[in-house]
Amino acid sequence: MRTRIKFCGLVRPEDVRTAAALGVDAAGFVFHPRSPRALDVVRAAQLRRLLPSWVAAVGLFVDAPSGSIRLAAGAVGLDVIQFHGSEDRSVCESECPAGLPYWRAVGMREGVDLIECFGRFPGAEALLLDSITDGHGGSGKRFDWTWVPQERPGPIVLAGGIAPENVAEAIARVRPSMVDVSSGIQVGGERPDPRAKSRERMEHFVAEVLRADAAQQDSR
């Protein structure tokens, strides 16, 4: 199986179009007001309309008010809900709109028991593994990949400091179902812009994922 790709924190129409042209599997829209990449429902719906049907729209929420996720999902046309706060199983199951899958983010640290995490969220389509920071994702900081066991009872989405420079290594070592990148493809330089993605880094990222998958096929 190939490694799927999610570009998260998309804000600009040109970045959404580039992501779709590059063949990514999912585009992430952030609905956490404290994030520098936050979108309102109207803007997210405009961006959603730029995506072809084969690219999933993932909505990232952090301890959102009750009922707001269902409203956003309907207005935008979300395909997946990503719970990235302190939501427990009951919240995930009650707030996720009927018929939509959800992913549960797990802040990774030494000693985290992913088997137990899968058990706590049996309805989750996948666990999204991210670094623990003061914010909620998009920090550009990676965690120790040796904390991720090779044997897992379900799919994982690997996030946290993933970038074109290390995604091939991440795939080789962790073998996730999907890799999730945000700050790793943003415009850099002396004044990085968290709301703007770099076309060159987006292209580089996809090329490195394809290279890593090809290397895994050759090794079998």
114-123 LR contacts (CB < 8 Å, sep 24+): 114/148, 114/149, 114/152, 114/156, 115/149, 115/152, 115/153, 118/152, 118/153, 118/154, 120/88, 120/89, 121/89, 121/92, 122/89, 123/89, 123/92, 123/93
Residue 90 confidence (pLDDT): 97
Going residue by residue through the chain, which has 220 residues, state the pLDDT in tens, using 9 for 90 and above. 799 999 999 999 999 999 999 999 999 999 999 999 999 999 999 999 999 999 999 999 999 999 999 999 999 999 999 999 999 999 999 999 999 999 999 999 998 999 999 999 999 999 999 998 765 554 568 999 999 999 999 999 999 999 999 999 999 999 999 999 999 999 987 778 999 999 999 999 999 999 999 998 887 7
Residue 141 confidence (pLDDT): 81
Residue 34 confidence (pLDDT): 94
Residue 189 confidence (pLDDT): 76
Residue 135 confidence (pLDDT): 54
pTM assigned to the model: 0.94
Residue 140 confidence (pLDDT): 65
* Catalytic residue IDs: 8, 130
CATH superfamily of 4-219: Aldolase class I (3.20.20.70)
Domain boundaries, the chain: 4-219
